[in-house]
A and B are shown apart, each in its own frame.
Chain A
């Protein structure tokens, strides 16, 4: 027994346990940091902006006088923008996912597409703005329109939708496909009537989350050059428009404190939209997604 110094072992153990407890507290504090910041952020925005939230805020156009400023053209613009982005990005995203998961052979070309998609996901959104400005606005001559901005946004969120759709398609078990083939179905019939119906909840969830990113995205719109003060509502996809985050950006840049409060009111509307979209996504995931 003399080889073990019990006192030093006991004190050593005590310090080790104390260290464990202290650092556990630190780790917990770090975890709570994010939650606290989110709480402060929401609290600040709500206290600053709620004074400007009224029915008039939704029905009036932007104005030089903070009390009369509203988001009518901005919120309609954002909705029209989503009406372009949703079908285009989902069509391209689901198509690409089906190709990669169902048809693509394992070769260099497929590997190239995969690497390309993951690199595309890392390109800053402001660079997508430069792409949209050059290709859609100027080269295709679409002008500063809903269509040009919508196509730019669609390409921006395309990688997210592709990856989400790929995961959803991959989760459909092989047995279901084989049962369909055994009934004499062709490959496309199997995809259309077995694979897609089974994977649509996952695809929808991923797509809605991607769209909620697009609705809050500002940088590409700034680079394309959409206006901030617009006294009319857009009437077609070719007309110019403004969007909610763009309007918030404009108000935030102004030096008057009143406009910061108007910006906060705009942020409340934007965040509410995001929360609604996220809730729909979570609802679809929980209600319709089956594990096979």
Chain B
């Protein structure tokens, strides 16, 4: 690449100098004669500013998200009391005369899904990471990792379809009390969705544990299992915890799986076999419904979106804090 680009470049300059009427000029004079020097230095001055402007788009996006959510949420809170929203246990926005906006049922719904997902994903994800980093041969690793990448790339709507048409019927044939829409099936499938994330981030953390520490343990007669559980796992704890926190954040924000398979019944209890509603699923329900622009229901999706945003933001910052603060350097 270097050679080609340099050659092209030399060729360009060469053709320029060929056009010069007098070829006996010295190099300095040639450089002085080049008419595009002013243009070049102008470009050199403009480009950094242009690129800075482009880089600012990502900052503007964050500001846009914050401003959008805050402004529209304030409109919502001019109609609904903040305290009723935060501490209310009834979410009935579609009841025409007695609409209530207590967000706790939606938060409980989100936590049910997240909890089930974590129960599924953390053991399987960490076990996968241990297998890949401590036991698997190079060949096995090379075969398994791309498949996990594919699993991570499956669109969430496909997972939603899978939850509704495969996992739910199986659950219903084993436990008849489970209804068509429930928390268990989408919870399990969200868990499957975040397995690759936990596995690959945890494996990175385990791979960065130096081999000398493993070999020290082997020299004392440890089995592979003892090395994995007593040396590698403790040394990689910060990375594993950070990956889990990031996965929790993903599960909280997951939308399509719950919108398809969890139902739309906001409820303030601990039941996971019946239809529930999460924060994300509520936003989808309103967006696909016919709530007009300017209604309280319309503004409520911003309040719920803002709540969701705060949840994921706290989780992401926590993950960054953990991996920075507790990282052990070897």
- Does A233 lie at the interface of the complex (its beta carbon under 8 Å from any beta carbon of B)? no
B35 within 8 A of A: no
B132: interface (CB < 8 Å) = yes
Contact yes or no, B48 A96, CB < 8 A: no
B59 touches A116 (CB 8 A): yes
Q: Does A168 contact B (CB under 8 A)?
A: no
Cα A130 to Cα B242 with chains together (Å): 28
A286 at the interface (CB under 8 A from B): no
Majority SS of interface residues in chain A? helix
Interface residues on chain A, size class: 35 or more
Question: Which of B130, B260, B283 lies in contact with A130, CB distance below 8 A?
Answer: B283
Q: From the candidates B40, B154, B309, name the one contacting A124 in the complex (CB within 8 A).
A: B309
Q: Is A159 an interface residue (CB 8 A)?
A: yes
A1 on the B face (CB < 8 A): no
Q: Which residue of B lies closest to A191 (CB)?
A: B47
Stretch of B87-95, B99-107, B207-215, B249-257 with 4 or more beta carbons under 8 angstroms from chain A: B249-257
B158 within 8 A of A: yes
**How many residues of chain B are within 8 Å of chain A by beta carbon?**
89
A138 to B297: give the CA distance in the assembly, Å: 17
Q: Does B82 have its Cβ within 8 Å of any Cβ on chain A? A: no
A267 and B161 contacting across the interface, CB-CB below 8 Å: yes
Find the A residue at minimum CB distance from B143: A35
Name which of A128, A216, A225 has the most chain B CB atoms within 10 A of its CB: A216
Q: Do residues A127 and B44 form an inter-chain contact, with CB atoms below 8 A? A: no
Listed stretches B14-22, B111-119, B144-152, B232-240; interface member: B144-152
A41 touches B154 (CB 8 A): yes
User: Closest B-chain residue to A98, C-beta based?
Assistant: B51
Q: Using CB atoms, name the residue of chain A closest to B279.
A: A126
The segment from A54-62, A63-71, A193-201 found at the interface with B is: A193-201
Asked if A27 is at the interface of the complex by the 8 Å CB criterion, the answer is yes
A37 interface hit (Cβ, 8 Å): yes
Say yes or no: is B216 at the interface (Cβ < 8 Å to chain A).
no
Of B63-71, B171-179, B269-277, the segment with at least 4 beta carbons within 8 Å of chain A is B63-71
What B residues does A113 contact at CB under 8 A?
55-56, 58-59
Contacts of B147 in A (CB 8 A): 34-35, 38
Query: Does A125 contact B162, Cβ atoms closer than 8 Å?
Result: no
Q: Which of B59, B69, B161 contacts A264 (CB 8 A)?
A: B161
A130 touches B301 (CB 8 A): yes
Question: Contact at A216–B2, with CB atoms within 8 Å?
Answer: no
The answer to whether B64 touches A19 (Cβ under 8 A) is no
Q: Tell me, in angstroms, the Cα distance from A138 to B294 when the chains sit together.
A: 12
Q: Which residues of B contact A24 (CB under 8 A)?
A: 131, 135, 224-225
Instruction: Check if A87 is an interface residue, CB within 8 A of chain B.
Output: no
Is A280 part of the binding interface, using a Cβ–Cβ cutoff of 8 Å? no
Nearest B-chain residue to A175, judged by Cβ: B2
A222 pairs with B165, CB closer than 8 A: no
B8 at the interface (CB under 8 A from A): yes
The 8 Å CB contact of A248, one of B1, B157, B196, B287, is B157
9 additional A-B pairs beyond A249-B160, A290-B1, beta carbons within 8 Å, are A38-B151, A44-B166, A48-B165, A103-B51, A158-B57, A183-B9, A186-B44, A193-B9, A271-B154
The interface of chain A, by Cβ under 8 A from chain B, is 16-17, 19-20, 23-24, 26-28, 30-31, 33-35, 37-38, 40-41, 44-45, 48, 91-92, 95-96, 98-100, 102-104, 112-113, 115-120, 122-131, 133-135, 138, 155, 158-159, 162, 176, 179-180, 183, 185-189, 193-194, 197-198, 209, 212-213, 216-219, 222-225, 245, 248-249, 252-253, 260, 263-264, 267, 270-271, 274, 278, 290
